[in-house]
Amino acid sequence: MPSDAPQAVRDICERCVGRIGAPISALREVAATLGAIEQAHMETVADVFNLSVAEVRGIVSFYSDLRTEPAGRRHIRLCQAEACQAVGARELTAAAQEKLGIALGETAADGSVSLEAVYCLGLCASGPSAMVDGRPLARATIKALFA
């Protein structure tokens, strides 16, 4: 984390002021820029947008993309919603957990990979669906996840 992170967060927030959904936009940019949203970042966002820290924490806790812990260098998200479950998401998840030695919601101790649940990626007709490093993957297989 750069030592000027608090100022970086304030700069991000100030660029977002006046936009629709400005606090969410700012938090997304903070997460993308700094890798995770820390308590101090939430306090800065609350200050700039005249919100309580609890309100900002509520936003962060609602959106899974607003991470409070850094993701692994490789970030795998597996859809766990019904349409994907009907076509093998549970089996794919079990295979991925076994291959990586981590459970959903965990990051490998060496930071190499994180495995996360997601609830619908909009690829319901082509499940099981995944997102690997931000790229959607339809009809995901264990082989395709690690290609």
Taking CB under 6 A as the rule, does residue 117 contact ligand FES? no
Q: What is the DSSP letter of 39?
A: H
Beta-carbon count within 10 A of 97 CB = 15
39: which 2 tokens? 């308590």
For the bound state, the minimum distance from the C-beta of residue 65 to ligand FES, rounded and expressed in Å, comes to 16
Stretch that binds ligand FES, among 12-20, 49-57, 98-106, 122-130 (CB under 6 A): 122-130
Residue closer to ligand FES (CB basis): 42 or 84: 84
Q: Which of 16, 30, 45, 123 binds ligand FES (CB under 6 A)?
A: 123
Taking CB under 6 A as the rule, does residue 116 contact ligand FES? no
102: which 2 tokens? 């981590």
Taking CB under 6 A as the rule, does residue 44 contact ligand FES? no
Give the burial string for 7-20 (b: 16+ CB within 10 Å, else e). Answer: ebbbebbeebeeee
Taking CB under 6 A as the rule, does residue 53 contact ligand FES? no
Q: Which of 120, 132, 139, 141 binds ligand FES (CB under 6 A)?
A: 120
> Which ranges of 35-71 does DSSP label H, i.e. alpha helix?
39-48, 53-62
- Spatial distance between the Cα atoms of 132 and 143, rounded to a whole number of angstroms: 12
Q: Residue numbers of the site for ligand FES (CB under 6 A)?
A: 79, 81, 83-84, 120-124, 127, 129
